[in-house]
Amino acid sequence: MTDEPIAATTTIDRYGVMGYPVSHSRSPVIHRLFALQSRENLQYELLQVSPEKLETAVRQFQRTGGKGLNITVPHKSEVAKLVDHSSDRAAVAGAVNTLTFRDGDIHGDNTDGVGLLRDLTVNLGLSLTGANILILGAGGATRGILGPLLEAQPTTLTIANRSLSKAQSLVEHFSASGNVTACRFDAVPVTETYDLIINATSAGLKGEAPPYPAKAISLQTFCYDLSYGLKPTPFSGWARESGAGRSVMGWGMLVEQAAESFNIWRGIRPDTGPVLKQMSISA
């Protein structure tokens, strides 16, 4: 027995999101809502870090006791080079959005694809098995979601992109996992009806409107924009005008990928429904 008072050594576990720019990020709000819901004691910071300072900033966060980071645009591919251990899904995606600092090592994972799948199948009730899927864009965002989408065993998955060669190289990479083909926007095959069209281009972010293939849309088509905003994105507006049955922005994916990260860090999967509602977003 000792009469010494117990020292108040409770330090709050530190997490954050690193991006450039990052001020628009909703991740701090989402993770604070998850922490409140699960009564986990943590803090979550917004960290604006330019590409040339990425490695220094990650290592400094680790050195000063940080527990985990979300990594967002434009760092997801570069940060993959810094990890000591990569999950299979991060390796397939060639990109990392979740870092965990444990026992002096950096663990990298990617929760984007699984977050999208969860939003599509659980929140929105879509069945992807046997579906015809069209993805617009062939950049990092597309690469991150292709593995999980193909695991759901769609009948066809078509990647349409402005520059054909980028879509073709994704097809080469993923062709063993399913029926994947590449084309330009103006050559999207319309022999089958598309059940799902996903916008994974960054055109909307730049205020550009690519020549999306309107003839690929029918009333049966569910359109999903990986981008999101308080107002409809250019793609989601275009999809509605072009006659899509439903058109949804990627708020649900944002919350679901965050929930997967939270689960990796804290071992608790938050209930995402109330968080989507609290953010005044309809899923």
Q: Between β-strands 180-183 and 156-160, what pairing exists: parallel, antiparallel or unpaired? A: parallel
Q: How far apart, in Å, are the Cα atoms of 55 and each of 50, 52, 142, 149, 265?
A: 10, 8, 25, 31, 21
- H or E element in which residue 162 lies: none
Decide: helix, strand or coil at residue 136.
strand
141 part of the interface to ligand ATR, by CB under 6 A: yes
Q: CB of 33: closest distance to ligand ATR in angstroms? A: 25
Residues 6+ apart with CB under 8 A from 191: none
Residues with catalytic annotation?
Answer: 76
Q: How far is the CB of 165 from ligand ATR (least distance, A)?
A: 8
Angle at 257 between CA 123 and CA 30, to 5 degrees: 90
Shortest Cβ 163–ligand ATR spacing (Å): 4
> In whole angstroms, how close is the CB of 20 to ligand ATR at the nearest point?
13
Position 201 contacts ligand ATR (CB under 6 A): yes
Among residues 153, 176, 155, 173, which one has the least CA distance to residue 165?
A: 173
- Give min distance, CB of 199 to ligand ATR, in A: 9
Binding mask 150-189 for ligand ATR (x = CB under 6 A): -----------xxx--x-----------------------
Which part of the chain contacts ligand ATR (CB under 6 A), choosing from 31-39, 190-198, 204-212, 266-274? 204-212
Is 65 exposed, middle or buried, given 0-12, 13-18 or 19+ CB atoms closer than 10 A? exposed
Site string for ligand ATR, 205-244 (x = CB under 6 A): -x-x-x----------------------------------
Fill in the DSSP letter of residue 6.
Answer: P
DSSP 166: H
Q: How many residues bind ligand ATR (CB under 6 A)?
A: 16
The binder of ligand ATR chosen from 203, 217, 248, 258 (CB under 6 A):
203
Binding string to ligand ATR for residues 118 to 137, with x set by CB under 6 A, is what? -------------------x
> Closest-CB residue for ligand ATR?
139
Burial of 38 (0-12, 13-18, 19+ CB in 10 A): middle
**Residues making contact with ligand ATR (CB under 6 A):** 137-141, 161-163, 166, 200-203, 206, 208, 210
